[in-house]
Amino acid sequence: MESRWRIQNFDTVGSWGKVLAGIVVVLAVQMGAMWAMGRLAICKCGYVKFWHGVVQSSENSQHIADWYTFSHVLHGLIFYFVIRLLLPRLSFAWGLLLAFVIEGAWEVVENTPYVIDRYRSATAAFDYFGDTLVNSFADSIAMAVGFVMARLLPVWASVVFLIAVEVLLALGIRDNLTLNIIMLLYPIEAIKRWQLGG
């Protein structure tokens, strides 16, 4: 029995067109909501870089990609398997659209004043002032990359990739998706000291 989604009954342009149109709408709502909350379109520095690698910087989460982009790829991997588990009959394409909805909702919530203040007070992200629209858009695309990867890779390869990224981020920037969730929900002072280099 096929253990992964097949892209069946979704070969017509019209069917994929509906899903792609839905993704465009989700991204537009996401960008509009963030704009309404006062998030900047691009970095206040006035330019856009493809990669910004300095975590403790006011330009983190302001450009197209940074260290946290990898966490958004992991979002896609996780969303794929959760959606596949909970909605096994859902086609890959509609699952991708649902993943965009979940990611878009998180991007908006993550950029509310409450969550931004939470990051600044409970984690090592002292210079975090919210994502720019260009960064948030790129984060959603990174999630889609992870979602497609999970569809194409064997389950074991997805798990190895997830663990490897988490370990490399922990070693490289003293942060990762797991630590981010822990520090957001239940801050631990020892982790915060370690993240600050103590």
pTM of the model: 0.90
Count of CB atoms situated within 10 Å of the CB of 49: 15
Residue with tokens 């490897």: 164
Q: Report domain extents, the chain.
A: 13-40+59-195
Q: Which of 195, 35, 49, 51 is nearest to 130 (CA)?
A: 35
- What percent of the chain clears pLDDT 90, i.e. is strictly above it? 72
Q: At what angle do helices 177-185 and 113-122 cross, to 10 degrees?
A: 100
pLDDT surpassing 90 at residue 8: no
pLDDT surpassing 90 at residue 72: yes
